[in-house]
Amino acid sequence: MENFVQFQKLFTEYLQIEKNASPYTVEYYNHDLEEFFSFLRQEGIGTFQEVDQQCIRLFLTILFDKKLSRRSVSRKISSLRTFFKFLEREEIINTNAFLLITLPKASNPIPGFLYEEEMVKLFESNDAETPIGQRNLALLEILYGTGIRVSECQQLRIKDIDFSIGTLLVKGKGNKERYVPFGSFADKALQLYIHDGRKQLLEKSEVNSESIFLNARGTPITTRGIRSILNKMVEKAALTIHVHPHKLRHTFATHMLNEGADLRTVQELLGHESLSSTQVYTHVTKDHLRNIYLNSHPRAKDRNNG
């Protein structure tokens, strides 16, 4: 039997060194590989060379039996296809059976977003007189005002802020850097937090951290911590909505497009490699434009019949 773990380690090094993949991407790949290796052991398959179309179809059946979404299954198959392409390159296998498998068509759900009135309630739920309130307000302003990912927000350092021109240096997927502008509200919230609340939080820790966002103990906040903060904001604002950091990213993109920003600009601000990733937001703007048209054009609808 082949040592599956040995090849997993080699593949991980390939992702980190050659592909410059983020820790989150590597984690997803490893999770998918471990699930597939477990399946191979259960089926008594001891070498990668034995993996054929029939084997993969059985694996697909098991995944769908677990009630996984098409999107989740597609991602797993895509991960394994990349792994077997790596094995083929390393001459561990002769052919990549995953190339012959058609990915199940993933559903393309409409991204959830918040209305401006809901955002106002979230902002008003923070007490800017306390260190934690100042931090939460700055956090919300940055997530909504820039559209950056929660992982990108968590990694921000003091040196990444340039107040003179109102930009953040953000490290995105694959350690790709981009400059993202922020507005006057985020500027004001950041200035207050950094010069007041953050200093008070730092005093609670023995480590002089460079991270912008700190927890109540004065140490760098985690992505889980950011999600928890948002949940508490929603409770405090008495909203019956579910807010996660990515929903603020969706809200940023939707509000930008609704106010007339072009797709290419939003793509660059979000750090999307392809325009297709950004186009998912155009459905909202189409609805928005249609509503404006129906309510504004004299001959859009019969006024007498409503």
Catalytic residues: 149, 173, 246, 249, 272, 281
Taking a C-beta distance cutoff of 8 angstroms, is the pair 245, 149 a contact?
A: yes
β strands within 97-225, DSSP E: 161-162, 167-171, 177-181
Q: Which of 242, 249, 240, 244 is nearest to 281 (CA)?
A: 249
The side-by-side arrangement of strands in the sheet containing 177-181 is 161-162, 167-171, 177-181
d(CA 293, CA 149): 33
d(CA 236, CA 244): 15
Identify the three-state secondary structure at position 262.
coil
d(CA 166, CA 237): 29
Which residues lie closer than 8 Å to 246 by C-beta, 6 or more apart?
Answer: 149, 150
